Amino acid sequence: MVTYVTPVRHIEQIIEAARLLPVVVLNDADDAAPLGEALLEGGLRCVEVTFRTAAAAAAIRTLAKQSELLVGAGTVLTADQVDQAVDAGARFVVTPGFGPAVVRRCQELDVPVFPGVASATEIMMALDAGVHTVKFFPAEQLGGAAMVKALAAPFRSVRFIPTGGVTTDNLASYLALPAVLAVGGTWMVAPDLLAGRRWDEVRERTRAAVAAVASLRKDR
User: Which residues are marked as active site?
Assistant: 48, 135
Residue 7: DSSP 8-state: -
CA separation (Å) from 9 to 27, 97, 112, 163, 173? 31, 21, 9, 20, 24
Q: Find residue 116's DSSP bridge partners.
A: 135
Residue 118: DSSP 8-state: -
What is the Cα 178 distance to its own chain's centre? 18
* Contact (Cβ atoms closer than 8 angstroms) between residue 60 and residue 35: no
Give the DSSP H/E element, type plus range, for residue 162.
strand 159-162
